Structure 1
């Protein structure tokens, strides 16, 4: 005969095990469509890459993955929805990117904790950034760029797609290392800034590769790229590492959900999105938009977000960045 209380302890143990079991044990996930929030207008590189992934992942999941565009607020409306309205059931997800990680450190009232207030699922890819000048201008190389900045303090202008973006912070860091004074000219979008350089409104652009068609068309010249290796598309452009900076800047992004998601659900989503990411069809989209692969599994992506949050907080303090 078991000792007194043994049966009660057994029942409690079984109940605890049931509570701890993944939601998958109560029913198949997913059993209805999944919503994936893309916080940019349709037609851009991230939108195209994530739409491709959604279509491919749906085949594995057996349910549609519906892309919902929510542009505005520097790409943070998706994060706002995840932290205030979405349930942590795996049916509402969103793109996680650098502006979401950075925002709590550059506003007066932080809207979320980028580490604790989300369930980070998978890291996907980034962008190819570079510095581009007018093809028929006086600057032909990175050495020329630095020389011009030193000869004309506060006169060399560079465009980006916004204040406190990844590329803006990178240029601030480079300028500080070199002891040069550059003038930042933010535009609403990367393609607008590339056109501004071609028309002579500004002297350079430091942004993702929306400038590529104008380089290939002969209007612009790329003097460096910020990827780990030279771009196959622009093999003559050196990387920042080759120029003496231990910097690789691709602004990688991934997919996250509301905090508190079931680990079993996260595993299913990670595996489906990883298969989609590695599919040749998605690789073709990334190649089209010069998007380097930046895959992180769930555990590594959480660690990446935590490290990046520390970096963004330090940079915000160093540069005294505030947008409100």
Structure 2
């Protein structure tokens, strides 16, 4: 019986995929997660000659899509494209999730890393890190920073930044793009925002960039220093990945990973993603699994210390 079951298991992996694949996106169409998922899905479909369909399941801060895939059959035909918030932050932020992504999902592949840029309104006249620190210290207790919502990376990176630099700053949560608009208007003093959302405003002279939160400088702004270079121990941002239900055949996960990695390594695809502000970083399954776990552990104390509560 065991031999027959093992043979069937191996055969199912060998024939994969032989029917349409669905990729659930936990956010609305048009966002970074959705864009990356559709690019990868299109390339998968071309290579495997089977339909790879993207379906948006937004809601509950990304938890709805996570729950759908976490409860799906672990056969490799229902996958999840998700980001740092639902995977690394929400398990601590919410505490009582119906489906815990750290337990119910198997990491497949990293799709892209999107850094956050520390930006200030150009009206402040702050051009660099030294000037920013001088301003921050002279306005201690009167600094406001914005975010796209409580518990988002924009909120928590800013909180972590204030903690590590000793800044006395107040968090002002917004719902989406209103935060950037208030920053441009000078109603906020600083903010950490994803590169794609602020690079056009920086180039237009409406915002000034001070530093980037990634481990390395970004190609779109090669002269912009990282926080690590400036002596601030922060090297994180927003990342996006592909997941399968826990219990999915490891051979299927390996095949998915190798396909995604080969897609990301294609020069045309890589340049397209870089143009979107997403840095494709190919990782094998073991590397991505370790990455996901370490990122979750990084944010647990930050979420708790921030006192953030679900909106």
The two structures have a TM-score, normalised by structure 2, of: 0.91
Superposition deviation, residue 22 in structure 1: 6.0
Which residue is 1:313 aligned to?
300
Q: Does 1:201 align with 2:187?
A: yes
Superposition deviation, residue 55 in structure 1: 0.6
Q: Aligned to 1:159, what secondary structure does the other structure show? A: strand
Q: Does 1:69 align with 2:56?
A: yes
Which residue is 1:292 aligned to?
279
Q: Does 1:183 align with 2:170?
A: yes
Contact 1:52/1:281, CA 8 A, preserved across alignment:
no
Q: Which runs of 5+ in 1 are unaligned?
A: 1-14
Q: Aligned to 2:274, what secondary structure does the other structure show? A: helix
CA distance in 1, matches of 2:8, 2:213: 41
Q: Which runs of 5+ in 2 are unaligned?
A: none
Which residue is 1:255 aligned to?
242
Superposition deviation, residue 79 in structure 1: 0.4
CA distance in 2, matches of 1:82, 1:236: 41
CA distance in 1, matches of 2:300, 2:154: 16
Superposition deviation, residue 121 in structure 1: 1.1
Contact 1:53/1:282, CA 8 A, preserved across alignment:
no
CA distance in 2, matches of 1:49, 1:246: 29
Q: Deviations over 1:131-182 (max 9, x none)?
A: 1112232322222222222222232222222211223222212211222111
1:92-111 to 2 correspondences below 5 Å:
92-100=78-86, 101-111=88-98
Paired residues in the alignment total 308
C-alpha RMSD of matched pairs (Å): 2.0
Q: Which aligned runs of 4 or more in structure 1 are off by greater than 6 angstroms?
A: none
CA distance in 2, matches of 1:94, 1:121: 9
Contact 2:161/2:234, CA 8 A, preserved across alignment:
no
Change (3 A) 1:260 1:38: same
CA distance in 2, matches of 1:22, 1:147: 66
Q: Does 1:227 align with 2:214?
A: yes
Which residue is 1:8 aligned to?
none
Q: Aligned to 1:37, what secondary structure does the other structure show? A: strand
Which residue is 2:288 aligned to?
301
Change (3 A) 1:285 1:134: same
